[in-house]
Amino acid sequence: MLKKLTFSIVVIITVILVVLVGSDSQTISDNLFSESSAYVPPDKIVMIWDYIGIQDDSQIPQKRIAHVGLDVIAPTWFAIEGENGYVSSLADEGYVKRAHKSETEVWAVFENRSDTMLTYGVLSNSNARGKAVNAVTDYAILYGIDGINVDFEAMSGQTLCFFYEMITELYEKLKPHGICLSIDISYPTDYDLSLLEKNADYIVLMAYDQHHANSTEIGPVAAIDWVKEAIEFTLEYVPPDKVILGIPFYTRIWVESSENGTFITSESDGMKSAYERFSMLSTVWFREDQTEQIYAEYEGEGKLFKVWLEDEHSLSLKLDTINDYELAGLSAWRRGLELPEIWELINAYFK
């Protein structure tokens, strides 16, 4: 219904929202809709996160849906910004319309930007938490968004109980409107997954960052054995048809001293960019049996650069796990980092 409103009415509703989100009044989600509308999922979900840094990012041509077979796109639109529960928005009506025209759902990301202290301040305050929940719900209704993808990271242990309360409250707000709720988790995790899955449509297992920026040893971001370990752990608490497997479209380039092999630093890079960088330097790629990924290295400026990278073979093994474990689908971080041929492989599996 909201998608067919005229521009003038949308403007009026936006003004009303600004007032309601900043007050203790009953919100749009409470009083405009009363009938229940359950979320109806696709058979196998093919999803990708879309990084939106500024408002204009949602409107550039590169952000238009171009991948056949994509079920869900998740733009990074909403974030908590102030301890009073203020939620910033980069949502764009045109982006949603283009996605829907391509038969792609929009699950907007709601994040905390890994701000440990702010997250505790908002979630531990019932008024601030309530305002944040109402704001996200109202934005979803206003823009015709199909789902909310919660990505709260770097939370302290004392915040978790309040996080569970927020999830419960958000799920109860979204469900009557048929708006899907998914929650991102890492591995290993401190979350009570049994509790989370009861108040969510999907749990998105971010099965990457096996080796990350703070790691004391180098290695791939998602070796297949480690991914299977993460899946099996998650399935102890969450039904397989509620688990979406997160896969990386990025890698890490590791830098060591050429003289003694001492680890110096690392940097993240997209799959496409890393492959082109190492291939341009006449690097010989070979498959590493343990990780099932391709590996390469080169020397320069007294440093040794190393990388593990996904290819058709290693990615196929990850896609196999989705069928083998009967998972709900996949989600990739993030759009624009992949090699183009990746989509042919994904479509061959699921479409």
- Residues 6 or more apart whose Cβ sits within 8 Å of residue 70: 46, 47, 48, 102, 104
Q: What is the pLDDT of residue 55?
A: 72
Burial degree of 153 (CB within 10 A; 0-12, 13-18, 19+): middle
Q: Where are the alpha helices (DSSP H) in 156-288?
A: 160-174, 193-197, 224-234, 271-280
Residue 287 has pLDDT above 70, yes or no: yes
Q: What is the pLDDT of residue 260?
A: 77
pLDDT 10s digits, 250-262: 999 999 987 777 8
Distance CA 318, CA 6 (A): 45
Q: In terms of Cα–Cα distance, which of 85, 205, 187, 190 is closest to 136?
A: 85
Looking at every residue in the chain, the average pLDDT score rounds to: 88
Distance CA 164, CA 302 (A): 49
Least confident of 45-54, 55-64, 129-138, 272-281: 55-64
Q: What is the pLDDT of residue 61?
A: 64
Contacts 24+ apart (CB under 8 A), 24-27: 24/127, 27/134, 27/137, 27/138
Q: Which CATH number fits domain 2-206: 1.10.1060.10, 1.10.150.120, 3.40.50.2300, 3.20.20.80?
A: 3.20.20.80
**How much is the average pLDDT of 312-335?**
96
Pairing mode, if any, of strands 72-80 and 202-206? unpaired
| Predicted model pTM | 0.87
Residue 144 has pLDDT above 70, yes or no: yes
Residue 22 has pLDDT above 90, yes or no: no
- Residues 6 or more apart whose Cβ sits within 8 Å of residue 67: 48, 343
User: Higher confidence at residue 32 or residue 246?
Assistant: 246
CA distances, 32 to each of 27, 87, 138 (Å): 9, 21, 10
Confidence class of residue 1 from pLDDT cuts 50, 70 and 90?
Answer: very low
pLDDT 10s digits, 37-65: 566 666 789 999 999 987 777 777 666 66
* Residues listed for the chain: 351
Distance CA 89, CA 47 (A): 21
pLDDT 10s digits, 70-124: 999 999 999 999 999 999 999 999 999 999 999 999 999 999 999 999 999 999 9
Q: How many whole angstroms from its chain centre is CA 111?
A: 9
The number of beta carbons lying within 10 Å of the beta carbon of residue 97 is 14
